[in-house]
Amino acid sequence: MPYYSGRLTKLMKVNKVIETEVRERKERSHIAWVFNLFSIEYSHPEMFEAS
First CA to last CA distance, the chain: 52
Q: What is the pLDDT of residue 11?
A: 96
pLDDT in tens, 14-36: 999 999 999 999 988 888 888 88
Q: Is the pLDDT of residue 43 over 80?
A: no
Please determine, for residue 13, whether its predicted confidence score (pLDDT) is greater than 60. Answer: yes
CA-CA distance, 33 to 30, in Å (whole number)?
5
